Structure 1
Amino acid sequence: MTARAEVRIVEGRVVADPGVGPVAMVWLPLRGQVIAKIPRRKGNRRWLHETVGIRSPQLDGDRWQLPRSCLVRLVTAAVDRYGFIVLWRDMSKLSRCTRACLEATGAECDCSCLGAHHGQDAGGWFERVGDALVADLGECTRTAVVYGTRDCDTDAVIYQGELAEERYRVDRVGRRHWPAAAQFMCAGCMTARASVWDHCHTHGFVRAPLCNRCNTRHWRGWHPQYGRAAPSPNLDDSYYRWCPERADGFKPCSS
C-alpha cells in the first residue's frame, strides 16, 4: 500500500510531497471574517455556497471573505476536496485554553494551546498533520497548522455502498454515523487506502471513498510533471454508479 503523501510548513512556506494536488489556505484573524485562499477552479462559488453552506461568499481579488461560523465546515469540506488545508490563526497571548477548543467549534477559538488541541473533537473528520508553526507578532501569536484526513490503523476493506443514497454533508451532525474514508480501499485505483469522501457535485450524493490522487486527477490529469505516477491498470470510474440520480449506465455525473 502506498505511503501517505503529506503537506508541511518549512520556514513559513507550504511544502507538498509529489502527487499532492493544490492546497487550500485559510486565515482566522483575531477579529473579523475568515480569509480563505483556495485554488482557482470553476465552480468555487457554488462549492462554497452549496457544499460549505455559506449564503453569500465574497471574493476580493484571489481571496474569499467568509463568516467565522463556517470555519469547521470549511476545513472539513476542503480536506475532502484537496486532501489538506493550512489554517493560519492569530491568538491572543492573554487567552486560556478551555473545553471550547476540544469541541467542533474549537477551530474558531484563540487560546494558549497554540492550536495543538483545536478541532480534536470535530467529529473525527480531520486531524493535525505535523507540528504547529508559531510566530510572535507582539500583541498576538500566529500559528499555522496543516489539517489532513484522519488516518486509520485497521486493515482497509472494499467499499460496498455503506453510504449509498446519503447526501454529502460537512457538518458534525450530518456525519455523525459516517465511517471514516480511511477504513476503505480507494474505489478508483484499488491500490491505496482511501482518504476522502468523493461526491457528485451535480446531485449532492456521496459516491465512494477515494485516495487523494484519484480524487484530484480530473483537475490536472495524470502527468509526470505533477508528480503523479501513471494510473493503475485497474483504474476506473465505476464508483460513479453510487450516485442514485446518475442519468444512465455510462455517462458520469460531474466530479
Structure 2
Amino acid sequence: MTNDLPVRIVGERVVTKPGIGPVPTVWLPLHGQVIAELPPRKGNRRWLHETVGIRSPHFNGDQWTLPRSSLVRLITAAVDRYGFIVLWRDMSQLSQCTSNCLNATGIECQCSCLGAHHGQDAAGWFEVVGDVVVADLGECIRTGVVYGARGSDADAVVYDGELAGERYCVDRIGRQNWPAAAQFMCASCMTVRAAVWDHCHTHGFVRAPLCNRCNTRHWRGWRPQYGRAPHSRNLDDSYYRQCPKHTDTWRMCSA
C-alpha cells in the first residue's frame, strides 16, 4: 500500500515515515538548469563539487542551481547519501512509451507513462518508489517521483570486500560492474538488508553497504527528538577499515 512507503508525495508535500530523515527535492523544468533543495548540512557545496562532479554549484537562498547534465549523477549520489530523493519533472507533450523510454539512461521523459517506466529496463542505481504524482499546469504536465536505491530479490549475504579498493563514483560507466548494495546485509548493524554504498569522504574509497539508518546516524537529525529512530544496538563501525587509507594518521577517515 502507498501509505506503507517510507517516502511518498501527498498533494505537493513530501511525507516521510518516522525514522526517515529529510529528503532532497529536485525540479527539472522544461528548459534551463536543474533546481535542487538539499537538507541543510555542512559540506553540501563540497559534496556537490567532489562527489557529484559539479564544478561550480550555485547557491541562492535555499536552492542550488545545477547543470542539467548532472541530473543522473545527482540522483545517484543523493540516493546514496539520503536514501531517497524526490524529482519534480515538467513535460510539454505526451507520447507512447517506446524502447527509447524503457532503455533510457537519463531522466528526461516525454512519454505517456509520465516517467513511471523511464529507464526501467536499463541498468541503473535507483528505482521509482510508489506511484507517479501528476499535476496539470496548463502549459505543461508536472510529475512527482520518489527515487530510492535499487532493490534485490536475492537473499542478502554478508559483505566480504567485493568492492575493496574501488573508488566511489556516481556515473553509470564507473558502476557498471558493481553489485547492488541491496544484495548484502548492512555491514554496520547486520540486522537488515543494506540499501546504499558508504564511502570515505576523505579518501574517496568505497567502504561497505549500509542501511539508510546506519548511513545517516552521524547527522544532527538522526536523534529521536528530531524524528529519527535510534540505530540498532548492534552498531559496528569496523567497516571503516575497508578504506585502504584507514591507517593514515594525517588524514583520518571521515563518516
TM-score when scaled to structure 2?
0.92
Number of corresponding residues: 251
Q: Distance in 2 between matches of 1:162 and 1:241?
A: 14
Residues 197, 146 of structure 1: CA spacing in aligned structure 2 closer, same or farther, 3 A cutoff? same
Counterpart position of 1:45: 45
User: 1:240–1:252: 8 Å Cα contact kept in structure 2?
Assistant: no
SS in structure 2 opposite 1:245? Answer: coil
Counterpart position of 1:16: 16
Task: Give the gaps of 5 or more residues in structure 2.
Answer: none
Provide the alpha-carbon RMSD of the alignment: 2.0
The more displaced of 71-80 and 218-227 is 218-227
Counterpart position of 2:123: 123
User: 1:200–1:206: 8 Å Cα contact kept in structure 2?
Assistant: yes
SS in structure 1 opposite 2:201? Answer: coil
Partner deviation per Cα, 1:29-69 (whole Å, 9 max, x = no partner): 00000001111111111111111111111111111111111
Counterpart position of 1:136: 136
Residues 122, 66 of structure 1: CA spacing in aligned structure 2 closer, same or farther, 3 A cutoff? farther
Partner deviation per Cα, 1:229-251 (whole Å, 9 max, x = no partner): 443332111100011012359x9
Counterpart position of 1:109: 109
Counterpart position of 1:78: 78
Counterpart position of 2:189: 189
SS in structure 2 opposite 1:41? Answer: coil
Counterpart position of 2:151: 151
Q: CA deviation at 1:120?
A: 2.1
Residues 104, 253 of structure 1: CA spacing in aligned structure 2 closer, same or farther, 3 A cutoff? farther
SS in structure 2 opposite 1:155? Answer: coil
Residues 100, 159 of structure 1: CA spacing in aligned structure 2 closer, same or farther, 3 A cutoff? same
User: 2:85–2:146: 8 Å Cα contact kept in structure 1?
Assistant: yes
Counterpart position of 1:178: 178
TM-score when scaled to structure 1?
0.92
Q: CA deviation at 1:175?
A: 0.3
Q: Distance in 2 between matches of 1:68 and 1:210?
A: 29
Counterpart position of 2:88: 88
SS in structure 1 opposite 2:86? Answer: strand
Q: Distance in 1 between matches of 2:148 and 2:72?
A: 13
SS in structure 2 opposite 1:208? Answer: strand
What percent identity do the matched residue pairs reach? 76
Q: Distance in 1 between matches of 2:135 and 2:83?
A: 25
User: 1:104–1:123: 8 Å Cα contact kept in structure 2?
Assistant: no
Residues 58, 229 of structure 1: CA spacing in aligned structure 2 closer, same or farther, 3 A cutoff? closer
Query: Residue type of the partner of 1:159?
Result: Y
**1:239 maps to 2:239:** yes
SS in structure 1 opposite 2:88? Answer: strand
Q: Distance in 2 between matches of 1:14 and 1:27?
A: 14
Q: CA deviation at 1:113?
A: 2.2
Q: Distance in 2 between matches of 1:45 and 1:165?
A: 26
Task: Give the gaps of 5 or more residues in structure 1.
Answer: none
Q: CA deviation at 1:139?
A: 1.4
User: 2:105–2:124: 8 Å Cα contact kept in structure 1?
Assistant: no
Q: CA deviation at 1:121?
A: 4.3
SS in structure 1 opposite 2:174? Answer: coil
SS in structure 1 opposite 2:107? Answer: helix
Counterpart position of 1:163: 163
Query: Residue type of the partner of 1:208?
Result: A
Q: Distance in 2 between matches of 1:217 and 1:197?
A: 14
